Amino acid sequence: MAIRCPAGFDTGYLKERVYETYDRVAREPNGEFHFHRGPAYASGYLKYDMEELMALPEESTARFAGVANPHRIGKIAPGETVLDHACGAGMDLLLAAKRVGPRGKAIGVDMTKAMRDCAVAAARKAGMSHYVDIREGVFEELPVEDESVDVVISNGVVNLAPDKEIVFREIHRVLRPGGRLFLGDVVVQRELKPEARENPDLWAACIAGALTEKELPEIAGACGFTDCRVTEHFDCFKNTSAEVKVSKDLYVQGVNFFAKKP
Ligand SMILES: C[S@@+](CC[C@H](N)C(=O)[O-])C[C@H]1O[C@@H](n2cnc3c(N)ncnc32)[C@H](O)[C@@H]1O
């Protein structure tokens, strides 16, 4: 159930397509893509606070490619340790860093070098380098110690994983007991047609690998999480080329999702 890799593709091929896509987002944030990017999208479609975004370096905000808003799921307290397990250019990570403050820590992991470079530059410009730590890695094998994190945030990335269970088990491993998961991801309300599931561009655009809304809490629960619930929906593909091609028929939406490690 948790494995979504389309028949005929190996996971290595999909990962290369995902890497190419987000390498290009980092280099050409205003290029042509099937999905929205940037601060106007974040505030207009996902309810981020525009004033707060404007106070962050453009290196991070222009490359934002999330699908929901993990910061609306729950509070992050001063002094806590937060991990963004695929932080991209770091917009959510820097917002989390503002909440934890210099007594806390904000760790970002991402596999795409050009994205990490933007996140590092943004943290430096924001004067947060001493408590923002950007690491190279993959969310299937996080370079993070067991039970060392209070909150994992995630935005628009679990759908990109061929095997969702591995990703939820890694999040569970790094969270302390009582730790929270604030996850934004794409879900489909109806099962996708095979043509959509097997389109690598739609995979990299965060659509083809999406779970159904019913599966998301089931998989998180099977991986040891409790209190699993969808808290909010977003029309993250409205007015994109993906909407024109597929998402109107398929009811693809961004969701905020909460879960807790007991
Ligand atoms: C849709 S973007 C979202 C980035 C960021 N969360 C945001 O909201 O802007 C997907 C990100 O996931 C990263 N990514 C994809 N697969 C990954 C993996 N297996 N491990 C780590 N990062 C991955 C990509 O490099 C890209 O930066």
Which residues does 121 contact at the CB level (< 8 Å), separation at least 6? 57, 59
Pick the CATH number of 11-260 from 3.40.50.150, 3.10.20.30, 3.40.50.1970, 3.40.50.1100: 3.40.50.150
**pLDDT at residue 3, rounded to an integer:** 52
Percent of the chain at pLDDT above 70?
A: 94
pLDDT at 54: 98
Q: Which residue type does 215 have?
A: E
Could you give the percent of the chain with pLDDT greater than 90?
A: 77
User: Is the pLDDT confidence value at 10 over 80?
Assistant: no
Q: Name the pLDDT band for 6 (thresholds 50, 70, 90).
A: low
Q: Which two tokens stand for residue 241?
A: 């080329």
Task: Spell out a b/e string for 46-60, using b for 16 or more CB atoms within 10 Å of the CB, else e.
Answer: bebeeeebeebbbbb
Is 185 close to ligand 1, i.e. is its CB under 6 Å away?
no
Q: Residues 60, 118: contact at Cβ < 8 Å?
A: yes
Among residues 199, 213, 212, which one has the least CA distance to residue 242?
199
Atom of ligand 1 nearest to the CA of 67: 8
Report the C-alpha gap between 82 and 114 in whole angstroms. 22
Q: Is the CB of 110 under 6 A from ligand 1?
A: yes
Burial class (CB in 10 A: 0-12, 13-18, 19+), 127: exposed
Element of type H or E holding 60: helix 58-61
pLDDT of 5: 63
R_g of the chain, CA atoms, integer Å: 17
At 1 the pLDDT is 45
Domain ranges of the chain: 11-260
As a whole number, mean pLDDT of residues 161-190 equals: 95
Q: What is the mean pLDDT of residues 5-34?
A: 86
Per-residue pLDDT, 60: 98
Distance 184 CA to ligand 1 centre (A): 12
Average pLDDT, the chain: 92
For 153-162, how does the pLDDT look when each residue is reduced to its tens digit (9 = 90+)? Answer: 999 999 999 8
Task: Please give the Cα distance from 78 to 99 (Å, whole number).
Answer: 6
> Which two three-digit tokens encode residue 60?
């991070």
**pLDDT at residue 4 in the model:** 61
Kindly give the distance from the C-alpha atom of residue 22 to the centroid of ligand 1, in angstroms, as a whole number.
7
User: Directed axis angle between helix 113-125 and helix 11-27, to 10°?
Assistant: 40
Query: 157 C-alpha to center of ligand 1: Å?
Result: 5
* DSSP 8-class letter at 188: E
Query: What letter represents residue 235's amino acid?
Result: D
Q: Is the shortest distance between the CB of 18 and ligand 1 below 6 Å?
A: yes
Residue range 214-235, pLDDT digits in tens: 999 999 999 999 999 999 999 9
